[in-house]
Amino acid sequence: GAGVSQSPSNKVTEKGKDVELRCDPISGHTALYWYRQSLGQGLEFLIYFQGNSAPDKSGLPSDRFSAERTGGSVSTLTIQRTQQEDSAVYLCASSSQEAFFGQGTRLTVV
């Protein structure tokens, strides 16, 4: 596609359930980022993938969070046993020379 695509755009889940968020980067972009943004706040770095290198997972807030990137393209962010404090917008970006963001997934844990 022409831009970074994220799905779903909105997700409401019950506390304790697992969720998967998907990111389709721009074709050919080797770098992919996941960020979390609480309402009106800045970007909280979660994880960074670059080509075939080991991902930079230094921003993942707990072991309930994990992400993978299959075939150097699509990425999935998984949150296990969701908690209310996980409610936020999850943004994905991909980059080559410039970085572009998706529209985000708004996650609400009830």
Contact residues for another protein (CB under 8 A)?
A: 4, 31, 33, 35, 40-46, 48, 50, 56, 58-59, 91, 93, 95, 97-104
d(CA 71, CA 2): 19
Tokens 């970006």 appear where?
93
- Residue 17, exposed/middle/buried by CB under 10 A (0-12, 13-18, 19+)? exposed
The residue (of 14 and 40) whose beta carbon lies closer to another protein is 40
In angstroms, what is the minimal distance from the CB of 16 to another protein? 26
Residue among 50 and 76 whose Cβ is closer to another protein = 50
30: nearest Cα among 76, 93, 91: 93
For the bound state, the minimum distance from the C-beta of residue 17 to another protein, rounded and expressed in Å, comes to 24
Shortest Å, Cβ 59 to another protein: 4
- Nearer Cβ to another protein (1/42): 42
Supply the minimum distance, in Å, between the C-beta of residue 45 and another protein.
Answer: 3
């404090």: which residue's tokens? 85
Cα distance between residue 64 and residue 101, in whole Å: 24
